[in-house]
Amino acid sequence: MTDFWTIDRPNTLPGSLCEELAALSQRCISGYSDDRPVSASLVRSRLTNSLTGVPPVLAVARIGQGLAGWCAVRRPEPGEARARLWGPVVEPSARREGLGRRLLETVVDAVQWPLVTTEVPVDRDGANVFFTESGWEVLDNITVLHGIPSAEGPGAVTAADITGLEEYVAAAGRRFAGLESQFAASTLPRWQDDARFSAETLLLDPSTGSLLLALVQRNTTGSELLVAEVWAADAEVRRRLITQAHALAAERQVATVRAVTRQDPVDFTASGMRVTGRCRTYSLSGGR
């Protein structure tokens, strides 16, 4: 017997549930190109709206007391055009019985926003077929890269070293990422709400206004430094910031550096990183 329910009210994403969601997610990505440490704090940060604190629309499936699967939609932040779909994530032993499709339909039917998926690795053939057959369209092609932490890197300026950080990040967002003013102004608060954020892992190039956002993620299975954003117009600056991130990774004693980019990955490969996977994101025009 499989039971479903949705959580769509404030303050209803308890820590114990985040632990369950994280554990199942970790099992499901193990061995694939998107394998990375998944913790309860990461799940909470990624599913909860940072500016409003509102939790996701969440569909959960249980067989008895065990978690069999889940699928969530993080509501769009002010200034975001789409809501973000996470999942469906299904226990391997419960697959091929339509559970993933039921979870997806549950959350899609519950929302009216345009949707975009998280990154779907191309080495998950079944997942790509699943979204295509469900009426989703490819939105972006994405490259995943890995690098080895290195203590041999130039010195870096971090967000802990300057004042006026919120204005610095907002200006970078407008200039390099093309963010509209209101959304750019909310960038730093959104980043700070992520459990992985630290001022010491936000690298800056004050002379050009550039930045690199790096996030440290650990759990019992591993650790990484994720290069989440690189905002710079000049290739030399981008590559210097990426090199500094590898030195930061060595300092933080993490196992690997990971980057996910929609752009040409040449600046990452020129900095010693190697391509380890390709992903796609899919979009859906709106809820049903």
Task: Please give the pLDDT value at position 1.
Answer: 47
Assess whether 117 and 159 both reside in one domain: no
Task: List pLDDT tens digits, range 217-245.
Answer: 888 878 999 999 999 999 999 999 999 99
Least trusted range by pLDDT, from 109-118, 134-143, 148-157: 148-157
Please check the confidence at residue 8 and state whether its pLDDT lies above 80: no
Q: Are residues 119 and 216 in the same domain?
A: no
pLDDT of 5 reads: 65
Segment 194-205 shows an average pLDDT of: 93
Residue of higher predicted confidence among 159 and 35: 159
Q: Hey, how many other C-beta atoms are within 10 angstroms of the C-beta on 53?
A: 11
**Same-domain status, 125 and 160:** no
* pLDDT number for residue 36: 81
- In this prediction, residue 287 carries a pLDDT of 52
Instruction: Give how many domains the chain has, as a whole number.
Output: 2
Mean pLDDT for the chain overall: 89
Mean pLDDT value across residues 89-115: 90
Identify whether residues 166 and 245 lie together within a single domain.
Answer: yes
Same domain for 25 and 128, yes or no, is yes
| CATH code, domain carrying 56 | 3.40.630.30
Q: What is the pLDDT of residues 141-156, one digit of tens each?
A: 999 999 999 987 778 8
Residues of the domain holding 68: 2-140+280-284
Mean pLDDT of 186-204: 91
Asked if residue 194 has pLDDT above 90, the reply is: no
